[in-house]
Chain A
């Protein structure tokens, strides 16, 4: 995300911000779909033996505009965040928040059940839960 501050006295905060940005950039693991860091919405993915959990950080989005699709093992999150209209004679001092259409794509593991996908939007986070198939569950084999 490109941060730009128009406060002239904010040089140190700007340096701090840059440092944090760099730190965050190096903390993440590389993805096959290229530079995923910095996109909107930011996505965290977690997995358990029973499901794959996806968290898309998309605050201020009308839930009706969100589109979640699973096709051929690829999950797509798309939507739009509309920019608020600027009031009359107003000045934008800092403009960092994302506005516009967005789309992010995540490859799912092979063992998921695309029919059981659940999506919830709460506190600005879209939580998508993708269950793994029953026959892919780890099983304990009884020894005769």
Chain B
């Protein structure tokens, strides 16, 4: 992206394809009968700088790292090379995107995406004729 682009142009560019490079947070995805639990590691992100969005069938997790750094600090060894995380997931139809709940503590995001009512497992009783 051109650095001289206007904020509007920049916004449009991010809306189409996120151009700013970001780290991919390590994630666990666990499915049980009632839905999906997603755990993502976002160390250094405070609650205010975390954004979880569901748009159509895409779930996006984005967070910005903010660390308390003393003035004039120079990095001498850097493993976390970028100040933000981003990762997107495609949700499947049986998941109820409207009922996503989120918890965030100590840099770990826990998302619970329940399955839609009609997709809940149902036990079909077999009647003996």
User: Which residues of A come within 8 Å of B, CB atoms?
Assistant: 1, 3, 17, 20, 24, 27-29, 31, 36-37, 41-51, 53, 55, 57-61, 84, 86-98, 106, 121, 123-125, 127, 129
Contact = CB atoms under 8 A, between A and B. Distances in A.
A53 B70 contact: yes
A27 to B, nearest CB: 5
A94 B37 CA distance: 11
Nearest to A29: B77
Contacts of B26: 1, 3, 96-98
A37 B41 contact: no
Contacts of A48: 70-74
Given A48-B74, A97-B39, A124-B107, A20 B80 contact: no
A94 B27 contact: yes
Given A58-B43, A124-B107, A125-B107, 18 more contacts: A24-B81, A29-B78, A31-B77, A41-B43, A44-B77, A45-B77, A48-B74, A53-B73, A57-B107, A60-B107, A94-B27, A96-B27, A98-B41, A123-B107, A124-B43, A124-B45, A124-B108, A125-B67
Interface in B17-59: 21, 23-24, 26-33, 36, 39, 41-46
B29 A59 contact: no
Contact of A124 (B24, B36, B42, B75): B42
Nearest to A39: B79
Contact of B30 (A3, A92, A106, A123): A92
